């Protein structure tokens, strides 16, 4: 194959030097981008969720309702929480815990609680924050102690009607399990009878992959002293490993 004479003129030392310089710059840019890509892969957030019935994951508090200047004592409540940790290398942004499904377990039978509306859970101690901040944590730093998200609570049975957390099919003297979802619904899908349940949860953030968990909860419906409540009255199994 004959090479045109005009093309041969390009192969001067000056042109070859320029071509070599441009090539070196391109290679350097590619290596830099590759390094940034690898760094991003290795430094992303890694969220984890755990469930334990013990302090500080579980707590006993007294609740009040404020209506203008009138304060109503709603009695004592047990709160059961999920511990969320960022085990990655960088901060996680806009972190949410989404409760997608509630199933009641009865031996070999599994029944979906159809009146439940899927929605986010609320982060612990956020009652005074704007509504958008109760379910979304703007930043969760890496390599820090866990932060808590409320899963469910149990109030004194004799104050069920006063608190508005009452179910007609739960006998008097038994407690009702209340889910700490973003918005309680008129269908009372956030209220559950005593029993054994499986909660399908998604832990998500805007800058990392979501993980999915199944938490099993057994609730007797009894109002017990703290030690007994944490040991037998309310049981919460550790979540299964995240789904692939």
pLDDT (tens, 9 = 90+) of the chain, 244 residues, equals 565 665 555 556 665 566 666 766 665 565 555 645 454 455 689 999 999 999 999 999 999 888 888 889 999 999 999 999 999 999 999 999 999 999 999 888 999 999 999 999 999 998 878 777 899 999 999 989 999 999 999 999 999 999 999 999 999 999 999 999 999 988 999 999 999 999 999 999 999 999 999 999 999 999 999 999 999 999 999 766 545 4
Residue 188 and residue 154 in one domain: yes
Q: What is the pLDDT of residue 129?
A: 81
Please list the residues that pair with 216 across neighbouring strands.
Answer: 198
Q: Give yes or no: residues 179 and 136 share one domain.
A: yes
Query: What was the pLDDT predicted at 79?
Result: 97
Give me the pLDDT at residue 6, please: 55
**Domain enclosing residue 75, as ranges:** 43-236
Residues 176 and 55 in one domain: yes
- pLDDT score of 37: 47
Q: Does one domain contain both 55 and 26?
A: no
Number of separate domains in the chain: 2
Q: Is 79 in the same domain as 107?
A: yes
User: For the chain, how far is it from start to end, CA to CA, in angstroms?
Assistant: 56
Q: Other CB atoms closer than 10 Å to residue 44's CB: what's the count?
A: 16
Inside any domain, residue 176: yes
Same domain, 29 and 123: no
Does some domain include residue 243?
no
Q: Give pLDDT, residue 240.
A: 60
Please report whether residue 244 resides in a domain.
no
């Amino acid at each position: 194959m004959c090479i045109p004479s005009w093309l041969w003129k390009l192969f001067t030392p000056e042109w070859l030097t320029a071509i070599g310089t441009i090539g070196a710059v391109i290679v350097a840019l590619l290596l830099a981008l590759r390094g940034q890509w690898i760094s991003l892969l290795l430094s992303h957030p890694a969220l984890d969720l755990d469930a334990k019935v013990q302090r500080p994951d579980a707590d006993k508090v007294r609740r009040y309702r404020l209506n203008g200047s009138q304060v109503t004592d709603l009695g004592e409540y047990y709160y059961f929480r999920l511990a969320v940790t960022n085990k990655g290398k960088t901060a996680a942004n806009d972190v949410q815990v989404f409760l997608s499904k509630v199933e009641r377990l009865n031996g070999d039978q599994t029944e979906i609680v159809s009146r439940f509306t899927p929605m986010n859970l609320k982060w612990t101690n956020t009652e005074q924050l704007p509504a958008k901040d109760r379910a979304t944590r703007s930043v969760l730093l890496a390599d820090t102690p866990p932060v808590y998200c409320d899963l469910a609570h149990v109030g004194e049975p004799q104050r069920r009607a006063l608190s508005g957390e009452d179910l007609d099919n739960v006998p008097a003297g038994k407690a009702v399990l209340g889910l700490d979802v973003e918005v309680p619904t008129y269908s009372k899908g956030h209220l559950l009878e005593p029993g054994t349940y499986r909660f399908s949860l998604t832990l998500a953030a805007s800058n990392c992959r979501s993980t999915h968990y199944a938490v099993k909860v057994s609730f007797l419906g009894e109002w017990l002293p703290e030690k007994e409540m944490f040991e037998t009255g309310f049981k919460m199994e550790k979540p299964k490993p995240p789904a692939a």
